[in-house]
Amino acid sequence: MSPVLQQLRTWTGIGLQSFGGGQATQLLVYRAFVERQRLMTPAEYAQAWGMCQLPPGINLLALAVLIGWRSAGGLGSVVALAGLVLPSAAVTVLLTIAYLLVSHLHVTALALRGVTAGVAGLGLVMTVRLARPPLRASRVEGRLSLMASIAVLLGAFAAQVFWRPPVFAVLLGAGTASTLLGWPRRFLSRA
Amino acid sequence: MPDPLGLFWLFFKATLLSSSGLGNLPSLHEDLLARHWATEADFGAALAVGQVAPGPTGLWVVSLGFLIAGWWGAVLAVVAAVLPPLLIVPTELLHRRFGDLAPIHDFVRGLNLAIVATFPVVVLRLVGAYGFDLPTLALVAASALLIAGGRLPSVVVLALAAAAGVAIFS
């Protein structure tokens, strides 16, 4: 099978089967490309996933583009992306239609209130999970770096709760603050 | 129906400013509610559908797009979601050359931390839409504990939360 067709087939399968969100999807990607097809070593996968944190948007879509690109060039990345997104998006729309069919029922409003609380719980878990890697990396770099990261994290939270600036301003401010706060550490480590 | 170009721009901007699947939530929440193009209930439903549907959770925006503007909304949301991740190709090339530069490394970490900080803010606003009563807070805490425990898939926890919602709030 040509690498392009292989990419299309694998990603479409992942797009249709990966019920359970991003972590379920990642597990299927790892099993397909690292364990079954052996297109990448575990270390290459980890490096690719780290790289996918950099561009904006959904990291898993970037991972599809990257794996497709490395194995079959530009066409490979397009079919990988389409294979992952189109089936998932189609099922998403069908589920939304199903929701609209029952949305006028009183019981739906109650269930949605429960789900909203559940999503809020999920948000709290995601906060902890996402905060861990950057904080752990900072701790390895030393106390100054850890304190800088905690300050940026709390500052970004406080700014949004108390002043409600545009999200863009928060991101730019946090990036700039992190760069400036990192300066003494970089200076000391060079000295 | 909202102006399609304006809607696309809001989705695209939210994706450009995000670094994960739910990272686009704060920007969309702010912009769409301010324009009255979406309601809190639309966000709740779209986020729940995104959890249940296969694929990356970030595709919850497809559901939101559909709720706002039907099929066109869904298509606009898909296009807005897939374009920014294509930047991974130039990113890989640039990262090979400059990724080790400390100021760039620190700037990217600051961005990541700010995205993390938006999650509890959204949690506060989602819960706040219904009020901070004891049953709701208990449901939030129970869901968080079950998801963090890792034994149950998040879809199952959300289904339990829905059932609990019907039982508690009726």
**Per-position DSSP letters for A125-143, written without gaps between them:** HHHHHHHHHHHHHHHHH-H
Q: Is the pLDDT of residue A116 over 90?
A: no
Interatomic CA distance for residues B118 and B126, integer angstroms: 12
Q: Where are the domains of chain B?
A: 4-100
Using CA atoms, how far apart are residues B146 and B157, in angstroms rounded to an integer?
7
Residue A117 has its nearest CB partner, among B92, B117, B161, at: B161
Percent of chain B with pLDDT over 70: 96
Instruction: List, in order, residues 6 or more apart from A46 with CB less than 8 Å away.
Output: none
* Confidence (pLDDT) at B168: 93
Of A57, A77, A107, the CB nearest to B15: A57
CA torsion sign for B32, B86, B75, A106 is negative
B160/A118 Cβ within 8 A: yes
Q: How many CB pairs under 8 A join A and B?
A: 360
Q: At what angle do helices B88-98 and A42-51 cross, to 10 degrees?
A: 100
**Minimum mean pLDDT range among A20-34, A106-120, B118-132:** A20-34
Residue B75's contacts (CB-CB under 8 Å, 6 or more residues apart) are B65
The better pLDDT of the pair B121, A82 is held by A82
Query: Is the pLDDT assigned to residue A23 strictly greater than 70?
Result: no
pLDDT in tens, B89-109: 998 888 777 766 788 888 878
Cβ distance of B166 and A107 shorter than 8 Å: yes
Contact by Cβ (8 Å): B151, B160: no
For residue A59, list chain B residues with Cβ-Cβ distance below 8 A. Answer: 19-21, 56, 85
Q: What is the pLDDT of residue B18?
A: 76
Contact criterion met (CB below 8 Å) for B81 and B59: yes
Domain end among A66, A83, A102: A102
Domain residue limits at A150: 106-190
Q: Are residues A140 and A127 in the same domain?
A: yes
CA distance A119 to chain B (A): 7
CA distance A116 to B130: 9
Highest mean pLDDT among A150-154, A182-186, B56-60: A150-154
Q: What's the rounded mean pLDDT across residues A149-173?
A: 89
How high is the pLDDT of residue B20?
A: 66
**pLDDT over 90 (residue B10):** yes
Q: Note whether A111 and A70 are same-domain residues.
A: no
Given a cut of 70, is residue A22 above it in pLDDT?
A: no
User: Would the pLDDT of A27 be above 60?
Assistant: yes
Higher pLDDT pick, B89 / B25: B89
CB-CB neighbors (< 8 A) of B115 in chain A: 130, 171
Q: Using a CB–CB cutoff of 8 Å, tell me whether A116 touches chain B.
A: yes
The pLDDT > 90 percentage for chain B reads 44
Radius of gyration of chain A (CA): 21
Backbone angles phi, psi at A109, to 5 degrees: -60, -40
Same domain, yes or no, for A120 and A76? no
- Does pLDDT of A191 surpass 60? no
Give the Cα separation of B86 and B64 in Å (integer): 22
Of the residues A102, A120, A140, the one at which a domain ends: A102
Per-residue pLDDT band for B166 (boundaries 50, 70, 90) equals very high
Say what the pTM is.
0.72
CA separation for the pair B48, B94 (Å, rounded): 37
Are A92 and A120 within one domain? no
Boundary of a domain, candidates A85, A102, A119: A102
Specify the higher pLDDT residue, B52 or A61.
A61
The string of pLDDT tens digits covering residues B118-165 is 878 878 887 887 888 999 999 999 999 998 887 887 778 888 999 999
Contact B4, B76 (CB under 8 A): yes
Contact across the interface for B49 and A92, Cβ inside 8 Å: yes
One domain for residues A14 and A86? yes
Q: How many domains in chain A?
A: 2
Lowest-confidence segment of A161-170, B28-37, B127-136 by average pLDDT:
A161-170
> Averaged over A150-164, what is the pLDDT?
93
Task: State the residue for tokens 């490394």.
Answer: B105
Contact across the interface for B54 and A84, Cβ inside 8 Å: no
> Which of B116, B126, B130 to probe by mutation at the A interface, max A CB count within 10 Å?
B116
Choose between B19 and B42: higher pLDDT: B42
Sign, CA torsion B74/B75/B80/B86: positive
Average pLDDT of every residue of chain A: 87
Q: What is the pLDDT of residue A61?
A: 94
Do A14 and A55 lie in a common domain?
yes
Mean pLDDT throughout A42-49?
79
Counting residues of chain A whose pLDDT is more than 90, the rounded percentage is 42
Q: Is A78 on the interface with B (CB under 8 A)?
A: no
Of the partner residues B56, B143, B147, the one whose CB lies closest to the CB of residue A117:
B143
Both A143 and A174 in one domain: the answer is yes
Average pLDDT over residues A161-166: 84
Query: Taking residues A62-79, what's their average pLDDT?
Result: 94
pLDDT grade for A10, boundaries at 50, 70 and 90: very high
pLDDT score of B62 more than 90: yes
